[in-house]
Amino acid sequence: MKSVLKWVGAKHNIMASLKHVLPKGGRLIEPFGGSGAVMMNTNYPEYILADINSDLIDTYQSIFKSPEKVLSELKRLYCLGRSEDAYYELRSQFNNHDSASDTQAALFIYLNRFGHRGLCRYNRKGIFNVPWGYYANPYLPETELYAMAEKNLNRIKVMLAEKGKTNKWLAEKLGRDQATISKWCTNACQPPLEALIQISQCLEVDIKELIRVPEHNPYKEL
């Protein structure tokens, strides 16, 4: 599986060799996340993806939180930004950093796909300055975007974070051990329906918030 972004030094071409030296465990920590190729091509229960580029990490956080919104914005930009003049207007919008987080993430992906060779470059003032790439029909990474979102998509973990609660708190509320809650929050195993109902009551949320079906799911009822 390739990544949402084109990236200099991306590791997807060497994953066949790299997988043999990766450690076993419940969590993979990537200090130099880049394109996220290692995460996209492994199956750890949990990931921590880090990088010095804050625009990159903000983009990934938006993808994890609301992939449908990011993709919707990205499709809009793909329609609007097919000329050189439009590219530079959108680049200026990105550098202003005054857009909503979903739009800012979509702008970053758009610039990566429409900019010269997928470079990510800033000047000394921190201004993104990659020129127009002259590509006739840049690839829209829809499949990759959803695949990345699902790597980190655990609705129990998301709702606990939004409510400011911990695994320990939930374990005490449900009368279960923390190890079980941890497994539920890292997709190591899934809670039974009865437990989901209890969790929704404890967090005071609709149970649908814990079992959200992504909008791209082809099996979703019409």
Q: Is residue 85 part of a domain?
A: yes
Burial class (CB in 10 A: 0-12, 13-18, 19+), 180: middle
CATH number for position 202:
1.10.260.40
Q: Is residue 1 part of a domain?
A: no
pTM greater than 0.85: no
User: How confident is the model at residue 5, as a pLDDT?
Assistant: 97
Q: Could you tell me if 86 and 136 lie in one domain?
A: yes
- State the total domains in the chain: 3
Residue 47 Rama label (left phi>0; alpha psi -120 to 50; beta): beta
Q: How confident is the model at residue 96 (pLDDT cuts 50, 70, 90)?
A: very high
Name the more confident of 64 and 215. Answer: 64
Query: What digits encode the pLDDT tens for the residues 44-60?
Result: 877 888 999 999 999 99
Q: Could you tell me if 82 and 38 lie in one domain?
A: no
Q: Could you tell me if 89 and 162 lie in one domain?
A: no
Query: What digits encode the pLDDT tens for the residues 101-154?
Result: 999 999 999 999 999 999 999 999 999 999 999 999 999 999 999 999 887 657
Domain hosting 26: range is 12-52
CA 112 to chain centre: 16
Query: What digits encode the pLDDT tens for the residues 8-64?
Result: 988 888 999 999 999 988 778 899 999 999 999 998 877 888 999 999 999 998 998
Q: Is residue 17 part of a domain?
A: yes
Residues paired with residue 185 on neighbouring β-strands, in sequence order: none
